[in-house]
Structure 1
Amino acid sequence: MRILHVFDHSLPLHSGYTFRSRSILREQNRRGWQTFHLTTPRHVRPGPDPETADGLIFHRTPPISPALSKLPVLREIAEVNATTRRLAALVEQVKPDILHAHSPVLNAIPVQRVARKFGLPWVYEIRAFWEDAAASHGTTQEGSARYKATRWLETRAAQQADAVGAICHGLLGDLRERGIDPAKLFHVPNAVDAEQFTPGRPRDEALAAQLGLQGASIIGFIGSFYDYEGLDVLLAAMPEMIRARSNLHLLLVGGGPMDEALRAQAKALGLEGHVHFTGRVPHAEVDRYYSLIDVLVYPRKRMRLTELVTPLKPLEAMAEGKLVAASDVGGHHELITDGQTGTLFRADDPQALATSVLDLLAHPELWEERRQVARRYVAQEKTWSRTVENYVPVYERLAARQARRLAA
């Protein structure tokens, strides 16, 4: 089977989006499927076309003109048109059996156009609704004209696709509420390759000394600093936690739009000696920082995006053999069983966060069993092999239907 995937961006850029894509493609290749890969003009890293990254070949859509890139709406139209042209040329070259668009909807529109032109079946896979992602990043507001227009585009793409996958049950439920035929919906959850993680990794004492964290009790967050991640809630909880545990430190690894505001908040709260911002670190170095952290905290705020979408980071922390504490938003509920694989606390509530994390830190005798249960959960239930297995009946159904159409 030959599948042509269309992505917003890809390796060698590093993000949760690109790592998920890489894992899916590798597992599909292991099954003997031939995969081809195209990115849109939103892949902004300069490089050759095609470009090989981690053994995968990515074809590129050329960037749009700088003048158009500054004009909302016209920019998106230009991106869709450029992707449509590049995709049509690639279809003629590689002759795929199925087209597979990965969100956002700007990828689905050109795939739908090209699928219709060549008479091919196509799949739309949704990792988050574009309108909710935009609202969470502050580029629009829920209920605005732009929000409603984008929601309409997402719904229309799902209606037109031959099959629609989503990474979590929250998104699937929302699609059913929009009137999408349940028969064409399928689940492709986030997962991890547990073998790539090393539970029980010794604490990196050299790094601890470098950061001034020798002998400290450390909680932390590793990822991107977006507002919806709720790191301001975590900072607001720190004074109470420090009063209870004077050697408690918070390690924040990463960066993003909220970086400056979070640093200012930490300073205003007088937390400079207890909160450590590392900035972004090389991907190969991340495991060193994991080794220092006793509890990974994910305080996501309650909003449509976090209620509907499951993150990847808590699964990675579990695979790393780390304790996890997270807010009780819907996306976390799909990954974490409170008291078994992790701890859940009330979202948007610094007091609830502090109480839950302090209680976890106060009972180290429970840590090892919790770590083992969580690690076993991801190793058995959240594997890429299990996720990609869910594509099999979908692809086979579409391929069989296409064969009947061509034979008629």
Structure 2
Amino acid sequence: MPGKALILVENLSVPFDRRVWQESTTLRDAGWEVHVICPQGTKRDTEPEAVIDGVRIHRYPLTAASGGPAGYLQEYGSALWHTFRLARKIGPVDVVHACNPPDLLFLIARMLKRRGAKFVFDQHDLVPELYLSRFDRGKDLLYRGVCALERATYRAADVVIATNESYRDVALTRGGKRPEDVVVVRSAPVVDRFRQVPPEPELKRGKPNMLCYLGVMGPQDGVDYALRALAKLRDDLGRTDWHAVFVGSGDAFDAMVALSIDLHLDDQVDFTGRIPDADLVRYLSTADVCLAPDPLNPLNDVSTMNKIMEYMAMSRPIVSFDLREARVSAGGAAVYAPANDELEFAKLTARLMDDPAERKRMGELGAARVAGPLSWANSAKALLAAYAATGQ
């Protein structure tokens, strides 16, 4: 019978973290009493305590890291203390479900396991690959440290949830987990959040084509590649018949705005920051081509990009670099430039701008994938199977 589940998150607030919120409500619908511990947001999810749609959320104050690895150690230390404090307040649970990064929450899970809980490790990121891709410091002492924390998390976990087959392979090989203890629960867009509305030509700023990027703007997310590709679209291919909108934020946001100015793109590129869902769907419904410029690196090649899933939910054609999991997600809904080749990325963008019939075909294919094999309905079944595998 369902019992009491505690979900631990450090990376985002809830319900802003869409994957965690989908998991929480899926478990609630299956009869679980669901508690979530997460940081407070800055503009949303600011209340320390909330009950939303039957899910009990416990939030703590947290200052995001700055200044490199030392800043992350300070952030994670604070998060760990607050999570420990709130977990003790909540009391015994049947399942503790920890979402990384960081790979430190196994410390809380071990404490709760001593009280009879089972530990589900929800691996959102491969932290060793994230470290290599984000900091460009090589396999130094800190890299070896994050590898050790990942090993400790795998050892402590009763069941591992992987976001795709590439992550599952890592859990089986590097993590040494048994195949029956690793379950793939793919991230999927919330269909109700991504419903097309009539396009608004005025958002194109007088241009016939609109290009759109949606997502986080961190050092590994490739916004700089997209901007340089747009500069080549203008300078090398002679195309000025477009306007681009970059939706989202992150710790590279200011640097990307500055880069757009350095490339003299500021008259053709808008940065919106984070915006309400109603505005997000306006931009995506108007966009002719969507950009997935995540460069090839140890993390991106094996990670499922939420932006790709969300573009497909909105029936948008995609330009991506040729990454393993990008092809698994998008299939024929995207065209693929050789890894990190900005000129080819620009050429493929121009090709789609000139071919509305192909854009329509790709968009319909992507929407069908999200509504069918990649839907959350399938992921929800896998999530409940993972909980069943704990024996709870």
Band of TM-score, shorter chain: 0.7 to 0.9
Give the corresponding residue for 1:7: 9
Cα offset for 1:54? 6.0
Give the corresponding residue for 1:221: 213
What letter corresponds to residue 228 of structure 2 in structure 1? A
Three-state SS of the structure 2 residue aligned to 1:38 is: strand
Determine if contact 1:10/1:21 at 8 Å carries over to the other structure. no
Give the corresponding residue for 1:186: 183
Gaps of 5+ in 2: 64-69
What CA distance in whole angstroms lies between the structure 1 residues aligned with 2:82 and 2:261?
46
Cα offset for 1:202? 1.5
Three-state SS of the structure 2 residue aligned to 1:224 is: coil
**Mapping of residues 287-302 of structure 1, within 5 Å:** 287-302=281-296
Question: Structure 1 pair 367/143, CA: closer, same or farther in 2 (3 Å)?
Answer: same
What CA distance in whole angstroms lies between the structure 1 residues aligned with 2:253 and 2:47?
32
What CA distance in whole angstroms lies between the structure 2 residues aligned with 1:23 and 1:223?
18
Query: TM-score w.r.t. structure 1 length?
Result: 0.84
Give the corresponding residue for 2:270: 276
Give the corresponding residue for 2:21: 22
What letter corresponds to residue 232 of structure 1 in structure 2? D
What CA distance in whole angstroms lies between the structure 2 residues aligned with 1:233 and 1:81?
38
Cα offset for 1:259? 2.7
1:173 aligns with 2:156: no
What CA distance in whole angstroms lies between the structure 2 residues aligned with 1:228 and 1:181?
28
RMSD after superposition: 2.6
Determine if contact 1:132/1:142 at 8 Å carries over to the other structure. no
Gaps of 5+ in 1: 65-69, 401-408
**Mapping of residues 200-279 of structure 1, within 5 Å:** 201-206=197-202, 208=203, 213-242=205-234, 243-279=237-273
Give the corresponding residue for 2:118: 121
Give the corresponding residue for 2:58: 59
Determine if contact 1:252/1:277 at 8 Å carries over to the other structure. yes
Cα offset for 1:237? 1.9
Determine if contact 2:300/2:323 at 8 Å carries over to the other structure. yes
Determine if contact 1:4/1:98 at 8 Å carries over to the other structure. yes
1:285 aligns with 2:287: no
Give the corresponding residue for 1:363: 355
Per mean C-alpha deviation after superposition, the further-off stretch among 18-27 and 236-245 is 236-245
Three-state SS of the structure 1 residue aligned to 2:111 is: helix
Per mean C-alpha deviation after superposition, the further-off stretch among 295-304 and 225-234 is 225-234
1:390 aligns with 2:386: no
1:98 aligns with 2:95: yes
Give the corresponding residue for 1:406: none
Give the corresponding residue for 1:152: 148
Cα offset for 1:53? 4.4
Cα offset for 1:76? 4.1
Determine if contact 1:84/1:111 at 8 Å carries over to the other structure. no
What letter corresponds to residue 177 of structure 1 in structure 2? T
Give the corresponding residue for 1:164: 160
What letter corresponds to residue 107 of structure 1 in structure 2? L
Give the corresponding residue for 2:107: 109
What is the number of equivalent residue pairs in this alignment? Answer: 378
Three-state SS of the structure 1 residue aligned to 2:299 is: helix
What CA distance in whole angstroms lies between the structure 2 residues aligned with 1:285 and 1:107?
35
Q: Deviations over 1:319-341 (max 9, x none)?
A: 1111111111233122121xx22
What CA distance in whole angstroms lies between the structure 1 residues aligned with 2:241 and 2:61?
52
Per mean C-alpha deviation after superposition, the further-off stretch among 42-51 and 156-165 is 42-51
What letter corresponds to residue 178 of structure 2 in structure 1? P
Query: TM-score w.r.t. structure 2 length?
Result: 0.87
Cα offset for 1:249? 2.1
Q: Deviations over 1:56-94 (max 9, x none)?
A: 320235769xxxxx88757645543442343133124xx
Three-state SS of the structure 1 residue aligned to 2:108 is: helix
What CA distance in whole angstroms lies between the structure 1 residues aligned with 2:223 and 2:12?
27
Give the corresponding residue for 2:66: none
Per mean C-alpha deviation after superposition, the further-off stretch among 359-368 and 293-302 is 359-368
What CA distance in whole angstroms lies between the structure 2 residues aligned with 1:129 and 1:147?
12
Q: Deviations over 1:284-336 (max 9, x none)?
A: 32112212211111111111111222111111111111111111123312212
Cα offset for 1:268? 2.9
